[in-house]
């Protein structure tokens, strides 16, 4: 008789091997490379784009973000676009749009951080004010404490949510946007595993320093 097994427990105990996968597929001599195979120009540039106002294909953007997100922050990223279907002008347009869209996203995240910081200050002032009013109710028996208690915990809860949840996610998003804004784009006619020399690594690091 076949032994009954607790598959739910087995599934819960399953361990991820993402670190070894990243090391195997992306990392070479301290550089992370994302390989992207294309068959034509519009795999990257949206077919809806007008000339001189090109924008990136959303599927391409998601692929780059999904590939870059699990890569540890300490590794610079190189995007290797593979395909012999591009002209030199198309390569320039692609590289420029990748950089511009990444910088635009970084600017959006920075503005969102500014808004969240102002919101945090407002919540902090609200917490302090409602806390003081709550404390003052101890000296005035006619003033109900419930409304100030609710206000205090409302402000305090939103403030801590901003610091530990929203703020954490925005810092994570900004790091990713910054990394993508610093990404180096190269083009290859066919796939080959890239081996970076010491000189190539020094050059890449120097280019990243100039971007700062």
For residue 87, pLDDT over 70 is answered with yes
Q: What's residue 96's pLDDT?
A: 95
Sheet holding 27-28, edge to edge: 27-28, 31-37, 77-82, 184-188
pLDDT on residue 3: 58
pLDDT at res. 206: 83
Please enumerate in sequence order all residues whose Cβ is within 8 A of that of 181, keeping only pairs 6 or more positions apart, or say none. 99, 102, 103, 105, 106, 211
pLDDT at 175: 92
The three-class DSSP label of residue 61 is helix
pLDDT at 210 over 70: no
pLDDT at 2 over 60: no
Q: What is the pLDDT of residue 8?
A: 75
Least confident of 8-12, 130-134, 188-192: 8-12
DSSP 102-157: HHHHHHHHHHHHHHHHHHHHHHHHHHHHHHHHHHHGGG-TTS-SHHHHHHHHHHHH
pLDDT beyond 90 at 28: no
- In this structure, how many other beta carbons lie within 10 angstroms of the beta carbon of residue 86? 19
pLDDT for 161 beyond 60:
yes
The rounded distance, in Å, linking the Cα atoms of 33 and 24 is 11
- Rounded CA-CA distance 59/82 in Å is 16
What per-residue confidence (pLDDT) applies to 5?
A: 65
The whole-number pLDDT of residue 205 equals 84
């Amino acid at each position: 008789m076949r032994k009954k097994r607790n598959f739910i427990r087995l599934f819960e105990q399953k361990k991820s091997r993402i670190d070894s996968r990243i090391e195997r597929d992306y990392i070479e001599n301290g550089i992370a490379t994302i390989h992207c195979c294309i068959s034509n120009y519009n795999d990257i540039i949206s077919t809806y784009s007008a000339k001189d106002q090109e924008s990136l294909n959303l599927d391409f953007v998601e692929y780059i973000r999904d590939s870059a997100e699990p890569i540890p922050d300490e590794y610079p990223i190189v995007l290797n676009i593979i395909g012999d279907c591009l002209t030199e002008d198309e390569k320039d347009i692609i590289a420029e749009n990748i950089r511009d869209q990444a910088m635009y996203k970084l600017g959006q995240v920075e503005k969102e951080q500014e808004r969240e910081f102002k919101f945090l200050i407002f919540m902090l002032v609200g917490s302090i004010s409602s806390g003081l009013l709550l404390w003052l109710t101890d000296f005035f028996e006619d003033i109900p404490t419930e409304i100030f208690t609710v206000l205090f915990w409302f402000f305090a809860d939103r403030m801590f949510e901003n610091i530990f949840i929203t703020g954490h996610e925005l810092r994570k998003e900004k790091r990713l946007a910054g990394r993508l804004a610093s990404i180096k784009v190269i083009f290859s006619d066919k796939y080959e595993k890239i081996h970076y020399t010491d000189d190539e690594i020094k050059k890449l690091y120097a280019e990243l320093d100039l971007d700062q």
